[in-house]
């Protein structure tokens, strides 16, 4: 038994568990937000590989009731730069990412010890969409989710 | 170098992204004549719509990797230029012949320093208030290596988007520019 490696593997397992919990909570929120909008959400699974290892993650496809594909959400990984997790959102037109950020978002200290945020607009912990045309990050809620779907699909609501 | 060299790379990336969006909207245009006019004298003109869409999708992914490569290459050049400029002080030593020879040697050697080593001594100096700055740059470098060496399936790397690479590297560039 490798006693040194065990705490590390437990930490990785915990990181994946927390990430998947956050992904599943987001999917639940999305299904709640869209339940009265003539949109259909379908969950599935896919295996991904990242530095934390290979594991199965849930995906979420969003379609119109007529069967038009609008957006597909696929988790990319928990061990990502400047975030606690990332999900790729893909439509026919484009793709984009939503990031899980802790309260206040990631920061860095300059040589004088002054703290600077990497991103503007990060309040509470949660999933955020950082779009290049917006100066501030958008917390993922129903209005920003619809904007994101429009961004990747040109589907207007 | 006394300016941030990364924004032009970001602008090029944003323009490429916009161009992909425009190209994909062109393929979806319902009017064949308009579509043909928009696609004329492009490599997509003679392809089927399905094939053209596949090519664009494939290259959207490729472009992300290429822009992370470009961001890293520009950042690395900035680091070496910055350090070579810092070494100019060697020229003030005496005797002048030795000073010039040492400076020339230093200037040449900086070109061969490993990026990880440069980031390590920056972590112990200009970035010591926040060692994670160097760690984030190393994550970009690791992803850059993965792209540059053919995206080996045997090695897993943390995903790095051009936007997050830009954000992480720019913070270091700005700290160095504040310490000319």
- Determine the straight-line distance between the first and last CA of chain B, rounded to whole angstroms: 9
Do A92 and B28 lie within an 8 Å CB cutoff? Answer: yes
A108 contacts in B (CB within 8 Å)?
Answer: 130, 132-133, 171
- pLDDT tens for each residue of A87-133: 999 999 999 999 999 999 999 999 899 999 999 999 999 999 998 88
Q: Domain limits of chain B?
A: 7-177
The answer to whether A117 faces chain B, any CB pair under 8 Å, is no
Non-local CB neighbours of A91 within 8 Å, separated by 6+ positions: A69, A70, A71, A72, A149, A151, A152, A153, A154, A155
Q: What is the pLDDT along chain A (157 residues), one digit of tens a residue?
A: 555 557 788 899 999 999 999 999 999 999 999 999 989 999 999 999 888 999 999 999 999 999 999 999 999 999 999 999 999 999 999 999 999 999 999 999 998 999 999 999 999 999 999 988 887 999 999 999 999 999 999 999 9
- pLDDT tens for each residue of B131-145: 999 999 999 999 999
Q: Can you tell me whether residue B129 is helix, strand or coil?
A: coil
The reported pTM is: 0.92
Do B126 and A111 lie within an 8 Å CB cutoff? Answer: yes
Question: What is the SS3 string spanning A70-101?
Answer: EEEEEEEECCECCECCEEEEECCCCEEEEEEE
Which residue of chain A is at minimal alpha-carbon distance from B136? A81
ipTM: 0.89
**Mutation for A interface: B58, B72, B125, B129, most A CBs within 10 A:** B129
């Amino acid at each position: 038994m490798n006693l040194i490696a065990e705490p590390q593997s437990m930490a990785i397992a915990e990181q994946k568990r927390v990430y998947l919990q956050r992904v599943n909570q987001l999917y639940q929120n999305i299904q709640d937000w869209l339940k009265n909008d003539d949109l259909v959400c379908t969950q599935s699974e896919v295996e991904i590989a990242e530095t934390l290892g290979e594991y199965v993650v849930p995906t979420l496809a969003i379609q119109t009731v007529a069967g038009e594909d609008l957006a597909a959400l696929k988790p990319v990984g928990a061990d990502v730069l400047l975030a606690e997790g990332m999900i790729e959102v893909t439509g026919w037109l484009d793709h984009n990412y939503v990031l899980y950020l802790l309260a206040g978002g990631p920061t860095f200290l300059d040589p004088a010890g002054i703290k600077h945020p990497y991103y503007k607009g990060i309040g509470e912990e949660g999933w955020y969409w950082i779009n290049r045309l917006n100066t501030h990050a958008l917390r993922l809620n129903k209005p920003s989710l619809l904007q994101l779907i429009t961004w990747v699909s040109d589907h207007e609501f | 170098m006394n300016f941030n060299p990364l924004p032009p790379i970001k602008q090029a990336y944003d323009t490429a992204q916009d161009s992909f969006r425009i190209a994909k909207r062109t393929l979806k245009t319902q009017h064949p004549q308009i579509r043909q006019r928009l696609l004329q004298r492009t490599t997509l003109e003679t392809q089927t719509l399905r094939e053209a869409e596949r090519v664009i999708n494939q290259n959207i992914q490729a472009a992300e990797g290429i822009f992370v490569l470009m961001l890293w290459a520009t950042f690395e050049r900035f680091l070496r230029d910055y350090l070579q400029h810092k070494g100019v002080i060697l020229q003030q030593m005496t005797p002048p012949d030795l000073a010039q020879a040492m400076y020339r040697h230093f200037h040449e050697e900086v070109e061969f320093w490993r990026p990880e080593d440069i980031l390590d001594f920056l972590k112990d100096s200009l970035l010591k208030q926040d060692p994670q700055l160097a760690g984030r740059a190393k994550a970009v470098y690791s992803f850059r290596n993965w792209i540059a060496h053919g995206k080996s399936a045997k090695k897993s790397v943390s995903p790095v988007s051009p936007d997050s690479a830009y954000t992480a590297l720019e913070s270091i560039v700005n700290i160095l520019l504040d310490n000319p």
